[in-house]
Structure 1
């Protein structure tokens, strides 16, 4: 038994591990334009508020060139104090939607259509967080390509290292857990829009290139 142990010691001493990390990066082009739109109607009569918001809501539902998400519709009374007791003096209704599209012209057309329904000063239309983002499917495809690139790279690296050192180097660990999306998104600030806004005048932000990167940790063994 001692003889076999003695023979194994030189082999173990000649084998060693290499631990290191490498960063891989790819460019992404944002392909989804999104915004939050809010319509607020105020009136003394609750029925009037509901009817006017319904006009907006029906038009939004009919327009099929954009995707609508997270729609909410609510009407609440507004109070003022009279003789130390609250008294309803009117109603305030709010209609909110998150809008997304791949075509900036469709976004402009949609916003122009909504603002054209604004008839009086008691109705306001505001636009928030108008910005470009990367579609989830596109992001996942690029992320998979980065992972594949990091695996192929280390396999080639192990082969070249084996040739340079005249040893057999093999990959023992590939840790692909870290990924970071570097965004350079400039969202348009909150805008209160009037009824004269035309689709070509909607302040659509420029498309800014984004980057996704992963830092992969490796462990190689050379014998």
Structure 2
């Protein structure tokens, strides 16, 4: 979609003019990257037991080659409970978090299924696995390529427009400046609802979400001088 905004025409010399205006250039893309947040929480009286359970997941996660894992973090915090208005030490809470990314739904499903299997094999209510909504997003590579295409389109358009305008008003119009503003808008479709998984829910993980189109837009500001 291309929308031409009102043109501001300013005299700069006797019979010269400066034209300052904006125009939208948009491109529709299909998001190419599936993402989800993984959180493993362990509550135990003993700190070492928390670390042992966390490592069962972390050992597998570190060896995962078919997906990209980002923003990994681990926190260990003391837990307290209150009894008769007194604070009592109740143990430790460990939280392991990752952002998982993949362009292949099958690889991401396989990764999640294996995490679920680890959780089920532990057989403990002290260990919880949470996998957030799986959603489609636009990768940096696709987004940058789309912006490059739109910038080239904008440059070609203003070059053609300045020549056409020159012929129409019988003046020499030249581009003096281009400022480009970029935006990425669109709906993100979620693959499934956030939940804590168990063996009864494995089939829910095996889904291929439908991606929705997203608009990538630039809004260049053009300044032309016509003499």
Q: Same fold (TM over 0.5)?
A: yes
Instruction: Kindly report which structure 2 residues correspond to 1:52-63, keeping only aligned pairs within 5 A, or say none.
Output: 52-63=53-64
Between the aligned partners of 1:114 and 1:27, the Cα distance in structure 2 is: 35
> Any unmatched runs of 5+ in structure 2?
1-12
Between the aligned partners of 1:79 and 1:40, the Cα distance in structure 2 is: 16
Instruction: Kindly report which structure 2 residues correspond to 1:1-223, keeping only aligned pairs within 5 A, or say none.
Output: 12-82=13-83, 84-118=85-119, 119-176=123-180, 178-187=181-190, 188-198=192-202, 201-203=205-207, 205-223=209-227
**Native 8 Å contact 1:117 1:195 kept in 2:** no
**Native 8 Å contact 2:35 2:101 kept in 1:** yes
Q: TM-score, normalised by structure 2?
A: 0.83
SS in structure 2 at match of 1:196: helix
SS in structure 1 at match of 2:66: coil
Answer with 1 or 2: which has the greater Rg. 1
Per-residue CA distance 1:187-214 (angstroms, 9 max, x = gap): 4542221133336744553211111111
Between the aligned partners of 1:75 and 1:13, the Cα distance in structure 2 is: 73
> Any unmatched runs of 5+ in structure 1?
1-11
Q: TM-score, normalised by structure 1?
A: 0.85
CA 1:121–1:166: 2 relative to 1, 3 Å: same
Matched length: 211
SS in structure 1 at match of 2:31: coil
SS in structure 2 at match of 1:115: helix
